[in-house]
Chain A
Amino acid sequence: MSLMCTSSGLLFRLRIRHSDNTKLKSLLNSEGSLLAFSGFPDKDASAAGAIASNIWTSFQKSGQYSLDDGKLNCVLVECKLGKIAITKVANLLLCLCAKETVSYGMLKTKIEAMAAYLEEPLSQVASS
Chain B
Amino acid sequence: MERTLEMQLEESIHNPGITGVLCVDNNGLCLGAKGSAPLKACGSISALAGQAAKLANPNGPTPVICLESEHGIVLIKKTDKLTTALFKSS
Which has the most chain B C-beta neighbours within 10 Å: A17, A105, A106, A113? A105
Choose from A19, A105, A106, A113 the contact partner of B27 (Cβ within 8 Å).
A105
Residue contact A105 to B31, C-beta cutoff 8 Å? yes
Q: What class of interface size applies to chain B in its complex with A?
A: 10 to 19
Residue contact A105 to B2, C-beta cutoff 8 Å? no
- In the complex, which residues 1-49 of chain B have their Cβ closer than 8 Å to any Cβ of chain A? 1-3, 23-25, 27, 29-33, 39, 42
Which has the most chain A C-beta neighbours within 10 Å: B25, B39, B42? B25
Residue contact B3 to A106, C-beta cutoff 8 Å? no
**Residues of A near any B CB (own CB < 8 A):** 17, 19, 21, 103-106, 108-110, 113
The interface residues of chain A, by DSSP majority, are classed as helix
Q: Which residue of B lies closest to A103 (CB)?
A: B30
Q: Which residue of A lies closest to B28 (CB)?
A: A105
List the B side residues contacting A106 at CB < 8 Å: 2, 30-32
Residue contact B2 to A104, C-beta cutoff 8 Å? no
Residue contact B2 to A19, C-beta cutoff 8 Å? yes
Q: Which residue of A lies closest to B81 (CB)?
A: A109
List the B side residues contacting A105 at CB < 8 Å: 23-25, 27, 29-32, 42
Nearest CB of B to A73, in Å: 12
Choose from B2, B3, B33, B39 the contact partner of A110 (Cβ within 8 Å).
B2
Nearest CB of B to A74, in Å: 10
Supposing A105-B27, A108-B27, A109-B25 touch, asked if A19 and B3 sit within 8 A by C-beta, the answer is yes
Nearest CB of A to B86, in Å: 17
Choose from A17, A109, A113 the contact partner of B31 (Cβ within 8 Å).
A109
List the A side residues contacting B27 at CB < 8 Å: 105, 108
Q: Which residue of A lies closest to B23 (CB)?
A: A105
Nearest CB of A to B46, in Å: 10
Residue contact A103 to B2, C-beta cutoff 8 Å? no
